[in-house]
Amino acid sequence: MSLLDAARDVRENAYAPYSRFKVGAAIRSASGRVYVGCNVENVAYPEGTCAEAGAIAAMVAAGETALAEVCVIADSPEPVPPCGGCRQKLAEFGQLDVVVTLATTDGRTTKTTIGALLPGGFSAAHMEKA
Ligand code: THU
């Protein structure tokens, strides 16, 4: 199954009764395994979690920490980019050249990279004097 199909499938399980905006994410790790996640909202709105965060958590729980490829899908006029927090989460586990495919449920896709999504990002190198 392609990464896009995996993201499309898991999106169906999104729990988004408040925004009604379902998001699916699929990531391929360095080992080649695929991990998926969907957004999980909460009545206390800030407690909700994004699809990307769920997929990353699944990868880490399985014992892996290196991202090779990412795909995010939503029903949106334009392919939806990850939120700011998720950009930082992706950068924690993926090199700057890791490809991120953004897709809509009606078939539009665009490709970017973790580096392009988070220019000037904070990294461990900034703490070297600490
Ligand atoms: N959301 C994601 O899961 N990923 C994104 O990249 C953008 C936003 C979710 C969070 C919330 O449940 C809903 O979409 C509306 O913001």
Question: To test ligand 1's pocket by mutation, which of 38, 41, 50, 101 has the most ligand atoms within 8 angstroms of CB?
Answer: 50
Q: What is the pTM of this model?
A: 0.96
Tens digits of pLDDT across the chain (130 residues): 899 999 999 999 999 999 999 999 999 999 999 999 999 999 999 999 999 999 999 999 999 999 999 999 999 999 999 999 999 999 999 999 999 999 999 999 999 999 999 999 998 899 999 8
Pick among 3.40.50.2020, 3.40.50.300, 1.10.10.10, 3.40.140.10: CATH of 3-127: 3.40.140.10
Per-residue pLDDT, 42: 98
Catalytic residues: 52
Distance 50 CA to ligand 1 centre (A): 5
Per-residue pLDDT, 1: 82
* All structural domains of the chain with their residue ranges: 3-127
Distance 53 CA to ligand 1 centre (A): 10
Cα dihedral 94→68→60→88 (10° resolution): 30
- At how many degrees (to 10) do helices 51-61 and 84-93 cross? 20
